[in-house]
Amino acid sequence: MPEGDTVYRTARTLDQALRGSILTGCDIRVPAFATVDLTGQTVHEVVSRGKHLLHRVGSTSIHSHLKMEGAWHLYRPGTRWLRPAFQARIVLHTAQWVAVGFELGLLELMPTRTESEIVGYLGPDLLGVGWGAADSAEAAARIAAMPERPIIVALADQRNLAGLGNVYVNELCFLRGLSPERAVAEVGDLAGLVHLARRLILANKDRDERTTTGNLRRGAQLWVYGRAGQPCRRCGSRIARGRLGRNELELRDTYRCPRCQT
């Protein structure tokens, strides 16, 4: 699933192409909103909120979530799409661009003034404009509010802080020497963990090749995620893979070094 840095870049690209433009066509291929036509409305902006995307058009917000398979593409009018048309869930036309949302896991429309009813539950956005000490403290407090939860589950909960997915939460646990199943109550410095999460995602927000090791060479970008059975880059122990979570919503694939993460 795309993580907050990927969604941030998607929003920025769409915003640069569409901001201030008037829609010359609007085709929504989701039954609940198929009759809505925003043609003639102005695109005010496209923003990300954690893993969520918001196109603000006229007085309407188009809310989408990529989930596992979704993507937004930009094309010049008349050029061939890179994915089949049957996968398109929404097509927005301007004089200069065609924006296509393919296989979006979620697509809905709402008045912009009611956005908070949809995304207001999210915790502080790690890539939000104006992130400060108050945001960091709030995120740490939200994580601490359920002390019995495994730390990796708490970090991935978008209600605590918005933007982290499986890659980042596994890498964070390794970098802090935490076993993924360790209870939140046993993690000594939640504020430091939140700070590191922001540093990591900020470092990757402007590049397609994500790295937590600082090495962009293929196969060397990550410490543990996706490396089950391979040697730890620090101690040589074999990386172990597991699954953790009380239900399907919380279920996470975990990767850990049994020696470095206690």
Q: Which residue has the tokens 């009813």?
A: 117
Which of the residues 2, 124, 150, 180 is marked catalytic? Answer: 2
Q: Does the annotation count 2 as an active-site position?
A: yes
Q: Does the annotation count 3 as an active-site position?
A: yes
Which of the residues 3, 124, 171, 180 is marked catalytic? Answer: 3
Residues 6+ apart with CB under 8 A from 63: 52, 53, 54, 106, 107, 108, 109, 110, 115, 118, 119
Q: Does the annotation count 51 as an active-site position?
A: yes
Alpha carbon of 239 to those of 44, 163, 215, 254, 261: distances in Å? 47, 25, 19, 10, 10
Which of the residues 31, 45, 51, 108 is marked catalytic? Answer: 51
Q: Are 74 and 61 in contact (CB under 8 A)?
A: no
Alpha carbon of 32 to those of 46, 52, 111: distances in Å? 22, 19, 15
Catalytic (active-site) positions: 2-3, 51
